[in-house]
């Protein structure tokens, strides 16, 4: 009976990388691609600046407010927690989520300030684990040359170099690197292939959702 048909779950796909690595445009392109293939997909991004917590984060990033490093770390994490149940509902109803930054940014940016990495990971424990993390790999100097650093708090070459180092400590089995210095269409093609495989795996129903970390 149609009504009893088991719904295949969507995939949780995260794009990570330095500022100006091209994540946001690649995320939109991926969502368009999946929709053109008849696969239900949504674009998500963290921080989600629309919530009350997100507004505090936005004020911090634009240097409108000052916060202790630990405090802002926990706010970024809270911002992911407040979207967790909706995330699970969407995935279970079959929607693939393409997420622009996630817990890896949370840890990489705070660790780049010198906070202990295990302390940084702790508040992320219990969030949904991505099925795939696509890392848009670009040397910090190259990213800076792209221009368009918007003048937000972290958009400085020296800091981005430290972030790049912290990201390296976070690679795990769900992680795939893509050379983000390639032309935008080549990055797009490569991402489509990697992510499509991941979505197919999840649709087969053999891969239960798991948790960080």
Selected binder of ligand DGP within 106, 123, 130, 140 (CB under 6 A) = 106
Nearer to ligand DGP, 163 or 198 (CB): 163
Kindly identify the residues of this chain, within the stretch 109-138, that bind ligand DGP according to CB under 6 A: 109-110
Minimum CB distance to ligand DGP, residue 199 (Å): 23
Minimum CB distance to Na ion, residue 113 (Å): 16
Nearer to ligand DGP, 53 or 132 (CB): 53
C-alpha 57: how far from its chain's center?
A: 16
With contact defined as beta carbons under 8 Å apart, do 138 and 21 qualify? yes
Minimum CB distance to Na ion, residue 143 (Å): 11
- Element (DSSP H or E) covering residue 29: helix 23-36
Nearer to ligand DGP, 90 or 101 (CB): 101
Structure tokens at 45: 């991004």
Selected binder of Na ion within 13, 14, 17, 19 (CB under 5 A) = 19
Kindly identify the residues of this chain, within the stretch 39-78, that bind ligand DGP according to CB under 6 A: 46-47, 61, 73, 76
Q: Which residue's structure tokens are 């893509």?
A: 178
CA nearest to 153, candidates 75, 74, 59: 59
Minimum CB distance to Na ion, residue 19 (Å): 4
Minimum CB distance to Na ion, residue 24 (Å): 4
Minimum CB distance to Na ion, residue 118 (Å): 26
> Distance between CA atoms of 127 and 143, rounded to whole angstroms?
29
Quickly count helices (H) and strands (E) in the chain.
9, 5
- Does the protein bind ligand DGP through residue 101 (CB under 6 A)? yes
Kindly identify the residues of this chain, within the stretch 19-38, that bind ligand DGP according to CB under 6 A: 19
With contact defined as beta carbons under 8 Å apart, do 62 and 8 qualify? no
Secondary structure (3-state) at 177:
strand
CA nearest to 18, candidates 115, 160, 203, 182: 160
> Distance between CA atoms of 37 and 159, rounded to whole angstroms?
39
Stretch near ligand DGP under the rule CB under 6 A, chosen from 1-9, 104-112, 129-137, 173-181:
104-112
Query: Within a 10 A sphere around the Cβ of 155, how many other Cβ atoms?
Result: 17
Under the rule (CB under 6 A), what is the footprint of ligand DGP? 19, 46-47, 61, 73, 76, 100-101, 105-106, 109-110, 152, 154
């Amino acid at each position: 009976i149609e009504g009893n048909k088991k719904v295949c779950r969507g995939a949780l796909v995260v794009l990570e990388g330095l500022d100006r690595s091209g994540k946001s445009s690649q995320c939109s392109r991926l969502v368009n691609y999946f929709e053109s293939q008849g696969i239900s997909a949504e674009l998500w991004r963290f921080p989600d600046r629309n919530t009350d917590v997100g507004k505090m984060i936005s004020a911090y990033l634009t240097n409108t407010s000052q916060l202790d490093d630990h405090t802002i770390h926990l706010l970024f994490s809270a911002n992911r927690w407040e979207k967790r149940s909706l995330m699970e509902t969407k995935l279970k109803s079959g929607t693939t989520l393409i997420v622009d930054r996630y817990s890896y940014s949370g840890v990489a940016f705070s660790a780049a300030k010198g906070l202990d990495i295990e302390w940084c990971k702790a508040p992320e424990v219990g969030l949904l684990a991505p099925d795939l993390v696509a890392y848009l790999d670009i040397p910090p100097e190259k990213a800076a040359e792209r221009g368009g650093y918007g003048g937000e708090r972290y958009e400085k070459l020296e800091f981005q170099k430290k972030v790049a180092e912290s990201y390296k400590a976070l690679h795990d089995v769900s992680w795939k690197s893509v050379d983000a210095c390639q032309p935008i269409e080549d990055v797009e093609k490569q991402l489509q292939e990697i992510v499509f495989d991941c979505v197919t795996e999840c649709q087969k129903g053999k891969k239960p959702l798991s948790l960080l970390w």
